[in-house]
Amino acid sequence: MLTHGYLTQKTVLYLDDKKAGEVMEQLEPVRFLIGNNTGKVGYKDLYIFRGALNQNEVAALSEGKKIQASLEVFSTLADPSLSPGMKLNNLAISLGSAQLDSKDDDQLSSILKKKIDQAEIVRKNELKVEHKKAIALDPKIYDLYIGQYEVAPDDFFVIEKKNDQLYFVDRGNSAELLPETINKFFINYPADLTVLFELDGEGNVSGLVFSLNGKEMEAKKIK
């Protein structure tokens, strides 16, 4: 199992349900390829999830259980013979599909490298932003914000405090929140991501607004 968190900039490798290693990096996948060397490599199952998986989710999959995900592609690859271009049956509750690519690996890699190089140029032009600087706040203020924030039924963000620092947690992946104002925080990575805590008339936290590159998502505080 390989699982990658974009916010945490980390890729973790699990063998069965045991963590085998990790590397700090920030990936932006453009395509998943299964090579044509089917005679040399044996495939069993292919699982693709949109969100990074935590230790408990990896353990559940290792035990043969299913977990809820906003996007899941599951296809059995244990067919007696795999041929380039064949469509693979997607057994997950998803509109996704899987297909064994019929093109030459070297040709695909060359095309992908050109696309990645072009995307890198665009990304550098789009992300020419000044890095924000955190202001000084009394860590006691963070106690107002900790809790669960429901973004959809049975789906919520978690705000927690550790060692006088505030963290944004989503599906087991956490990132430190740095104060921009007394109730507006940002995450220190190359994108415009902020968390604005909303207050009611009595000064209590009623919810938050999660903003990523101008797109907003509201969440109501439930605990």
pLDDT (tens place) for every residue of the chain, 223 residues total: 888 887 777 889 998 888 998 888 888 776 666 655 555 656 677 778 877 888 888 898 888 887 776 677 777 776 567 677 777 777 765 655 666 665 666 776 777 788 878 877 776 665 555 567 889 999 999 999 999 998 878 788 899 999 999 999 887 778 889 999 999 999 876 557 889 999 888 888 999 998 877 778 889 998 8
CATH architecture of 139-221: Beta Barrel (2.40)
What amino acid is encoded at 79 in this protein? D
CA distance 28 to 59: 25
Return the structure tokens found at 81. 């013979």
CA distance 2 to 195: 28
CA distance 116 to 30: 8
Q: Is the separation of the CB atoms in 208 and 198 below 8 Å?
A: yes
For residue 62, what are the CA distances in angstroms to 1, 41, 44? Answer: 9, 21, 13
Domain map of the chain by residue range? 2-126, 139-221
